[in-house]
Amino acid sequence: MSNDSDEKSPYGAGFIAACIVIGAVLICGLVIIFAGGDDAKPVSAAEQRPVAAASAEPTNAPAVAEGGPVPSASTSTGPGGSCNLPAGDQAVPTTAPTADGWDVSKRIVVPRSAAYGPGRTDSDGFRHCFAHSPTGAVFAAYSAVAAIADQTHLVPTIKKLMIPGPATDRLIRQVSATTPERDNSTVQIAGYRIIDAGPDRVTVLLATPVESVYMSATLTLVWHHDDWRLQPPMPGAAVGAPYSQHRNLNDFVKWSGI
- Work out the angle at residue 153's Cα, subtended by the Cα atoms of residues 151 and 159, and round it to the nearest 5 degrees: 115
Q: What is the mean pLDDT of the chain?
A: 74
Q: What are phi and psi of 2, to 5 degrees?
A: -75, 150
**What pLDDT, in 10s, does the model give residues 210-228?**
888 898 999 999 999 999 9
Q: Is 221 exposed, middle or buried (0-12, 13-18, 19+ CB in 10 A)?
A: buried
Range of the domain at 184: 7-254
Confidence of residue 183 (pLDDT cuts 50, 70, 90): low
Q: Do the domain assignments include residue 125? A: yes
Answer whether residue 90 shows pLDDT above 80. Answer: yes
d(CA 118, CA 85): 9
Which is more confidently placed, 175 or 62? Answer: 175
Answer whether residue 80 shows pLDDT above 50. Answer: no
Residue 195 host element (H or E): strand 191-197
pLDDT, mean of residues 147-166? 88
Q: Do the domain assignments include residue 2? A: no
The predicted model scores a pTM of 0.73
Strand 228-230, strand 244-246: pairing: unpaired
- 57 with 199: CB under 8 angstroms? yes
User: Helix (H) and strand (E) counts for the chain?
Assistant: 6, 14
pLDDT, mean of residues 241-251? 91
3-state class (DSSP) for residue 211? coil
Residue 140's pLDDT is what? Answer: 97
| Identity of residue 3 | N
Confidence of residue 182 (pLDDT cuts 50, 70, 90): low
- 204 with 212: CB under 8 angstroms? no
- Rg of the chain over CA atoms, in angstroms? 17
Q: Do the domain assignments include residue 1? A: no
Answer whether residue 134 shows pLDDT above 80. Answer: yes
Q: Do the domain assignments include residue 209? A: yes
Which is more confidently placed, 108 or 33? Answer: 108
Confidence of residue 87 (pLDDT cuts 50, 70, 90): very high
Confidence of residue 185 (pLDDT cuts 50, 70, 90): low
Residue 154's pLDDT is what? Answer: 85
Answer whether residue 68 shows pLDDT above 70. Answer: no
Least confident of 63-72, 182-191, 203-212, 220-229: 63-72
d(CA 155, CA 146): 14
Residue 181's pLDDT is what? Answer: 62
Q: What are phi and psi of 34, to 5 degrees?
A: -65, -30
Confidence of residue 143 (pLDDT cuts 50, 70, 90): very high
Answer whether residue 48 shows pLDDT above 90. Answer: no
* Counted domains in the chain: 1
Return the closest-CA partner of residue 51 out of 190, 191, 204. 204
Q: Do the domain assignments include residue 17? A: yes
DSSP 76-133: S-BTTB---------S---SPPP-SEEEEETTEEEEEBTTTB--EE-TTS-EE---SS
Peptide bond between residue 180 and the one before it cis (omega within 30 degrees of 0): no
Residue 180's pLDDT is what? Answer: 63
d(CA 31, CA 45): 23
